[in-house]
Structure 1
Amino acid sequence: MKTVLKQIDKIKKGQLKPVYAVTGTERMLIEEVTTSLTDTIRSGQEDDMNIMHFDLNETSIDDVIYEAESFPFFGGQKLIFIHSSYIFTGKKVSSAVKHTPSLVENYLKDPSDFSILVFIAPYDKLDKRKKVTKSLLKSAEVIDVTPASDKDTADYLKNYCEKSGYHMSRESLERLMQLTDRNLSKAKNELDKLMVYHIEDKEISMESIDKLVSKSLEQNIFELNERVLRKNIKQSIELYQDLLHQKEDPIKILALMISQFRLLLQVKILRTKGYQQADIAGILKIHPYRVKLALQTEKRFKQTTLSQAHRYLISADYEIKSGKVDPEMQIELFIWKFSTMTE
């Protein structure tokens, strides 16, 4: 991520390249690259007509290359963003729009000095076997915006907070990351809202984070499962009813409950076999932080308890999909049934 921030800094200083390839799925960084390029070009000329956006789902790359090779009508420099650049991936798209990748390959050999092309490919990976992709990666300034690591996310949020004149404790930062699924884009958006809330005191508190940052459905289900495991009937049903009032689908709630109990079981079994957190994350192919939370939870319960809860949920799912029971009532029945189970 440090490389990306350095590349953005160069853009802001006007050190521009004729072609950029922005690859990866971190939306916030894509937006920052886009904004930095736009602001830099805009500061050097008055005409916004030279800033263009094309989407390859709607426009042929042939037309984009033609535009890049055409002189600006009022002079200056063109900035051309090419969104949904799926031609560099193995992605199959059903579209009437036809593309000629060889035009891109030829353009990259001798790009126009009055145009800056920015290919935005918000995908997990490119197809490096393709000739056009090889040409792009060889000729363009590649800006890798893959999702940031926990450390990079924390460092970015901390620095952003300090540069904006705000303070946030380590505990508050961890809570913010936890509630935003450790996703940089989500965390940055929530932090901006918190800064508006704390415009006077400049202190981002744990209390305001819990008050203003919404929990995701997955986080609410995690808390629901915890209450169920503790056999706290009243609080379990209250949270479940809250989710229903928020128009959450009971079938989706049940599916997430099953998924989380399955994860707890898998983590417990692997831990008892001697595997460490990093090993478990690799075996299950999930984020290490999810494993960390699962380890903290599963240690408090017997494997038989987790297995029984999982079996009850699987049975409830079958009853619902068979059309035998009401989905809303079945989850409440599971909560009551599990709470009376003797270990």
Structure 2
Amino acid sequence: MPIYLYWGEDGFALSNAVKTLQQKTLDPTWESFNFDKISSEHSDAVMQALNQAMTPPFGAGDRFVWLVDTTLTQRCSEELLRDLDRTLPVLPETTTLLLTSATKPDGRLKSTKLLQKHAQIQEFSPIPPWKTELLTRQVERVAQETGVKLTASAVGYIVEAVGNNTRQLYSELEKIRVFAGDTNTALAVDAIAPLITASAQNSLKLVAAIRQGNTASALELVADLVRQNEPALKIVSTLVGQFRLRLWIKLMQETGERDELVIAKAAELNNPKQLYFLQRELSGISVRQLQRSLPILLDLEFALKRSADETLVLQTKVIELCHVFRRPK
């Protein structure tokens, strides 16, 4: 009775995991008989899923029951909880029951605790953009999956260009795979750069323009990102991660820390060699300026989540940020 709970906001990664589990469970010949995808919009969705899960499969393969966008880990009636408690332990071995949700399970609920007891739970949340070590591992893993060989510098370039956008990562690596053909040579940056849509790279250029107090350049980059349909909240996420990283480094410098490995670890910087360039970059910037940038970014995120005009609020807050970092003449 394999039971799974997949949750998280990275819909592309979650969808891939569902496909893998589905292929592992179902016999393609009998798929139409043994696959049930049940939307949680129906009032009796959970009971439908449990009833189907108790049904033996037809023909070869197992039965696969998928309860989509379930709210069981956010709210659950006592009656439904009793049904779950009675059914989950006795599901047939020939059934795979999958529950998916974008929302983090509420660990206080009895239904969540019941699923923790019976189900394999896996999180599919985007990696925070400042956790470059995890992003690097993700690029290396997906490159291996897709059969693409990359140099270390090429991996780093993709991390900067794609960020934590899993869908784009797979798309870019598939392009590179087709381009590379059957070559066994690890591809370098100059070979892959022309193929990659570097929206995250433009976000990093935006960081540089703001840090330099260059309002005109920053507004131009905002316009470019909007034209590329880059989600505004993703732009904010990159900005927050980059300014947070720089604030940590500057604070460590101000406290007198000189050990680069200690600073890199505190700032969650994957490549300590990058620290030299970041320290040089920060030589003319104060802790106070970096501290002032974060509340502005918080206001920007709040406005976007309240459905403000994305382009207008991005432009306004970027101008404010540039004023913070503008050097007196």
Could you state the TM-score of these two structures normalised by the residue count of structure 2? 0.66
Paired residue type of 2:5: A
Alignment of structure 1 residues 22-37 onto 2, 5 Å: 22-27=6-11, 29-37=13-21
- 2:107 maps to which of 113, 123, 128: 128
CA distance in 2, matches of 1:143, 1:102: 24
Secondary structure of the residue aligned to 2:108 is: coil
Q: Does 1:341 align with 2:328?
A: yes
Distance 2:98 2:143 in 1: 29
Q: Which residue of 2 aligns with 1:271?
A: 253
Q: Percent identity?
A: 18
Give the deviation of 1:307 after TM superposition: 3.0
Q: What is the match of residue 3 of structure 1? A: none
Aligned-residue Cα RMSD (Å) equals: 5.0
Please tell me whether residue 172 in structure 1 is matched to residue 151 in structure 2.
Answer: no
Question: Which residue of 1 is the match for residue 65 of structure 2?
Answer: 80
- One-letter identity of the residue aligned with 1:207: D
Q: 1:234 to 1:99 in 2, by over 3 A?
A: same
- Preserved CA contact (<8 Å) 1:254 1:331: no
Counting only pairs closer than 5 Å after superposition, residues 240-255 of structure 1 correspond to structure 2 as 242-243=224-225
State the 1:131 CA deviation: 2.4
SS in 2 for 1:86: coil
Give me the whole-angstrom Cα distance separating, in 2, the residues matched to 1:248 and 1:23: 24
Structure 1 residue runs without a partner (length 5+): 1-16, 282-286
CA contact (8 A) 1:62 1:99 kept: no
Counterparts of 1:184-333 in structure 2, within 5 Å, are 186-199=168-181, 201=183, 204-216=187-199, 219-227=201-209, 229-230=211-212, 239=221, 242-243=224-225, 264-265=246-247, 267-274=249-256, 276-277=262-263, 280-281=266-267, 288=269, 296-297=277-278, 299-300=280-281, 301-304=283-286, 307=289
Which amino acid in the other structure matches residue 64 of structure 1?
A
Residues 89 and 118 in structure 2, CA contact (< 8 A), matched pair in contact too: yes
Shift of 1:80: 0.4
Give 1:75 shift: 8.0
2:307 alignment partner in structure 1: none
Whether the 8 Å contact between 1:85 and 1:121 is mirrored in structure 2 is: yes
Q: Which AA in structure 2 matches 1:49? A: F
Q: Would the aligned equivalents of 2:264 and 2:275 in 1 still touch at CA under 8 Å?
A: no
- Within 1, Cα distance between the matches of 2:182 and 2:75? 51
Distance 1:54 1:196 in 2: 36
Shift of 1:297: 3.5
17-26 vs 293-302, greater mean Cα deviation:
293-302
Matched AA of 1:220: N
Answer with 231-240 or 193-202: which moved more: 231-240
Aligned to 2:117: 138
